[in-house]
Each structure stands twice: as C-alpha cells, then as structure tokens.
Amino acid sequence: MKTKLQVQYKNINIDMEEMERVVKESVKSRGIKMNMIDTLQLYYQPEDLALYYVVTLKSGEMIRNDVPVYMK
C-alpha cells in the first residue's frame, strides 16, 4: 500500500512528496549528503507556505533552517 499525503489550505494543495523534495534540495545545498542523515523532521506553515526542518545527522548533530524554505 502506498499513501499519498496532501495538505489543503485556502485552495492550495501541497503534496508531501514535493515538500520533502524541496527540503532535501535545501539540505543538500548546505553540503549535507543524504546518507549522513538519521532523521528529517518537516514543519509546514500553510498560511505563508513556509517549510522549516530539523535534520539529525548520524553523528548526533542537529541542523535547523532559521530562514524558511518556500514551495514553488
């Protein structure tokens, strides 16, 4: 079974897979490789389409974005 998650807010549909892709691009742009990541937590604020994340690396280090990432 495959689950598709979407957030609907004020006539805007945000797909979870797209949200994850946008955040992963941001994380990669910071020089972090996907195989270094233990967990990736996503936080979405639908009123301004802002995405925040917390990356926990396998080393235990936590990385957050203070400036939101926006969906295109």
Q: What is the per-residue pLDDT across 3-50, written as a single tens digit (0 to 9) for each?
A: 898 888 888 888 989 999 999 999 999 999 999 999 999 999 988 889
> Which residues, including other chains, have CB under 8 Å from residue 23's CB and lie 6 or more apart?
40, 42, 51, 53, 69
> What pLDDT shows up at residue 49?
86
Please give the model's pTM, rounded to 2 decimal places.
Answer: 0.82
Helical residues (DSSP H) of the chain, grouped into ranges: 16-29
pLDDT interval class at 57 (50, 70, 90): very high
